Chain A
Amino acid sequence: MLRGYRGFAHEFARTGSLRALWMQLRTGAAHVARRALGRDPNGDPIEVFLRNYAADGFRLPDAESAALSLAAEACLVCSLCSAECARVGGAPRIDPRDAVIAASRMAIDWVRLELPEPIATPCAACRACETVCPARIPIQRVQEWLAAPRA
């Protein structure tokens, strides 16, 4: 428990003004008292965090989104996926190339703007685009992710 206060002497010595000193002592005392008496009753910190930042579009990350975003980073903007999609007669609302570019970037903005509809419509899921992607991005999963309703 004392380890939590390590560095106290060093930080104390760096205090630059009486005002700062007073603030530190006052806040510090209140903090020690609160910690000694038990945890804050503010509730689950994750819930508090999400409540604080919901309006800014922040959502808890999930493994799938993170993995898709990382995979999408390798995009060369070569447009071969667009060409193959067109060749097989696909017509998704968002072109596969734009979907890959947008993946992860738009997610936070879309939620924040409270747009009523998902950005993408589910495509035919034929995965033709994936067969020609030099970076081997799982484009169909990206389309699905963009088409999922935002919570």
Chain B
Amino acid sequence: MSPCIRVPVLVVGGGINGAGIARDLALRGVRCALVERREFGSGTSWASSGMIHGGLRYLQKDPDVTLHSCVDSGAIQRIAPHLIFRIPFVMPVFPEDPIGPELVEIGLEMYDQYQPFKNGRSHTRLSRAEALRLEPALSPRLECAFTLDEWGVDAARLTAANALDAAERGAVVLTHTELVEWLREPGGGRVVGGRMRDRINGEEFVIEADVCMNAGGPWVPKLAALAGVEVRLRPGKGIHLVFERRVSNLAVYARGVDGRDMFTFPHEQNSMAGTTDDDFYGDLDRLEATEDEVAYVLQAMERSIPSIRRHRVTHTIQGVRPTLWGFGKNEDELSRDYVVVDHARDGAPGLFTIAGGKLAAYRLMAEDAADRLCTALGVREPGRSATTPLPGGDGALDVLATAKRFRTPVAAVVRLGFRHGTRTSQVLADHDTDLPMDGATAPRVVCACEPVLDAELRHVVTREGVRRLTDCTLRVRLGVGACQGAGCVGNAVAVLADALDWSAARCVEEVRAFVDERWRAVAPALGGSHLAAMEIHRHSFLAGRGFTS
């Protein structure tokens, strides 16, 4: 008989919604199991623009959506201040733009009324000369420009933080674990849990639950089908280009050749440009940007920033949005953007699905879903996710003091702060005690581009449940800089191998999977000054590092 876990709630899908729901439930004292088939957020969440935005575009349709988005952006700032950073935007208006600057400004004046909810600033209006002074790289063809601001976030870390908080509060949280089949009650057809398979060691086990939540993002239809119910989505693929470093510290609006809004915006250490939105019919597990998508994004950016092609693109990121098809079968449908569905009406009681939505609304969506699940369970606890800080979000980090205390470069502590907030000291303190060698040595830099320290790698393995080298791309931003892993993967895998007792063969497997993933991201946008880096990259991995077959 396979081992069994019994919980009130089983959440399948470790993206921002699944993780958010698990955390919300855990805060209410409801124990749940959260299973994710890869790494947290590795489906859609990590590939978002990484902005907790206020929903400017909804002002025309339904200002309530904008209000809720702005209020919730404020909430996320309070619970995870370490994960967010402000992004000032500049919006150039060109003579050929269909919407005139006065209309744009009216829209921004409306938006200004919501800014206080998210600690945002009012817009400003810039003449052509002023705009070019603010951002000299802008196209001089602009007639005027406007500024506003939004908040950026490391979406992968936000997802992981939610999952970690859930785990710390008693949830069973498993990565690299997939649902093989739903468990049904004989006769009634009630969904009572799932049979799981650990994708790393192959072990199968059962999780029994009173209610189950399908939070699989673009995999929602597939998971639903396993229970014999239909959830229709219109999956929309979106890519971003990632530049080697900041192109600007401002975000710049651009318009695609088809009129779509896009931007080049700062994100962590870099700038990103995007995004696209195309109906997707392919394999969700082998997602790659295409040359056409790359060309489309660059063409759009060039209009606002003529010199954009001079900048070095290191790789692409890509994801598929779980956009709702639009179905009206269930009267419990909430807002236009997302739904929480009770499949009792589809003959699968006990199973819920959450689909659609956007990253910025995750906390609201999760709270809503948790409300529904609690109702089904007969639990009357209110949600507390808007007011309880996420791990590391309960204060400010003293960067200088921490750097001095642990003999660590300040640059590294800054980046640690962005990922771990107040827990940074713990990350560095653990390092001293974890090492089996006698005499403590200062943490060493493994990845120069970020930088990532061996201490942080050890931390995410021993305390954050990281199980594979590829997880580290999302969890600590390993190998996503200039060298794309050529200089760091060899040593990163060694740190993980030490902590997880990997065999040499396992190390090779992990490196190979990592390199394959990097290559799929690099190849579509490869060109310019990145060619030299990839020449070195190939020498590094093909001439050395074993690759035992």
> CB–CB under 8 A between A and B in the complex?
yes
Taking Cβ atoms with an 8 Å cutoff, the residues of A that contact B are 3-8, 10-11, 14-17, 19-20, 23-24, 27-28, 30-32, 35, 40, 42, 45-46, 48-49, 52-53, 56-58, 60-61, 63, 66, 69-70, 72-78, 97-98, 101-106, 108-109, 113, 115-116, 119, 134-135
Does A17 lie within 8 Å of B99, measured CB to CB? Answer: no
A105 in complex: contacting residue of B122, B124, B246, B533, CB < 8 Å = B246
Bound form: Cα–Cα A31–B103 in Å: 9
Tell me the complex Cα distance, A52–B86, Å. Answer: 11
Q: Does B411 contact A (CB under 8 A)?
A: yes
B448 engages A97 (CB within 8 Å) = yes
Known contacts A113-B399, A115-B410; is-contact A66 B137 (Cβ 8 Å): yes
Contacts A27-B110, A69-B245: A45 and B124 contacting too (C-beta < 8 A)?
yes
**Cβ-defined contact, B105 with A31, below 8 A:** yes
B110 with A48: CB separation less than 8 A: no
What are 13 A-B interface contacts by the 8 Å CB criterion?
A: A4-B101, A15-B60, A16-B61, A49-B88, A75-B482, A77-B481, A98-B411, A105-B245, A105-B269, A113-B400, A113-B414, A119-B411, A135-B529
User: A20 to B60, Cβ gap below 8 A?
Assistant: yes
Asked whether B121 lies within 8 Å of A52 as measured between CB atoms, the reply is yes
In the bound complex, do residue B134 and residue A73 qualify as a contact, i.e. CB atoms below 8 Å apart? no
Query: Taking A20-B61, A101-B449 as contacts, is the C-beta distance between A27 and B109 under 8 angstroms?
Result: yes
Range of interface residues on B (Cβ < 8 Å): 35 or more
Main secondary structure of the interface of A (DSSP, over half): helix
Q: From residue B486, how far is it (CB to closest CB) to chain A in Å?
A: 8
Choice from A57, A60, A63, A70 contacting B134 with Cβ under 8 Å: A60
Asked if residues B245 and A11 are in contact (CB atoms below 8 Å), the reply is no
Q: Are A16 and B60 in contact (CB under 8 A)?
A: yes
Bound CA span A40–B63, Å: 26
B406 within 8 A of A: no
Known contacts A7-B103, A19-B62, A115-B410; A73/B85 CB under 8 A: no
Q: Are B245 and A72 in contact (CB under 8 A)?
A: yes
- The answer to whether A8 touches B130, judged by C-beta atoms less than 8 angstroms apart, is no
Q: Would you list which residues of chain B between 32 and 52 have a CB under 8 Å from chain A? A: none
* Contact (Cβ within 8 A) A49 B245: no
Chain A residue, CB-CB nearest to B246: A104
**Judging by beta carbons under 8 Å apart, are B109 and A8 in contact?**
no
Q: Are B487 and A77 in contact (CB under 8 A)?
A: yes
Given contacts A14-B60, A45-B126, A70-B310, contact A61 B249 (CB under 8 A): yes
How long is the Cα–Cα vector from A28 to B100 in the complex, in angstroms? 13
A46 closest partner in B (C-beta): B130
**Could you say which residues of chain B place their CB within 8 Å of the CB of A101?**
448-449, 451, 481-482
B269 contact set on A, CB distance < 8 A: 105
Q: Please, how many angstroms separate the alpha-carbon atoms of A46 and B72 in the complex?
A: 29
B residues within 8 A CB of A24? 60, 106, 110
> Is B360 interfacial (CB-CB < 8 Å)?
no
A53 contacts B88, CB within 8 Å?
A: yes
Chain B residues with CB below 8 A from A135, complex form: 529, 532
Nearest-CB residue, chain B, relative to A30: B109
Q: How far is the CA of A3 from the CA of B483 in the complex (A)?
A: 48
Given A17-B61, A49-B134, A97-B448, residue A31 in contact with residue B109 (CB < 8 A): yes
* B 462-492 binary contact with A (CB < 8 Å = 1; else 0): 0000000000000000000111001100000
In the bound complex, residues from chain A placing their C-beta under 8 Å from that of B337 are none
The docked-state distance in angstroms from the alpha carbon of A35 to that of B101 is 12
B449 cross-chain contacts in A, Cβ below 8 A: 77, 101
A98 CB → nearest B CB, Å:
7
Q: Which residues of B contact A46 (CB under 8 A)?
A: 126, 130, 133-134
The reply to whether the CB of B375 lies closer than 8 angstroms to some CB of chain A is no
Other than A42-B124, A48-B124, A60-B134, give 14 A-B pairs with Cβ distance below 8 A.
A5-B103, A15-B61, A17-B63, A19-B62, A19-B63, A20-B62, A28-B106, A45-B130, A52-B149, A57-B249, A58-B249, A74-B529, A77-B449, A113-B399
- With contacts A53-B121, A105-B269 taken as known, whether A23 is within 8 angstroms of B110 at the C-beta atoms is yes
Q: Give 5 closest A-B pairs by Cβ, nearest first.
A: A16-B61, A4-B102, A7-B99, A6-B100, A52-B121
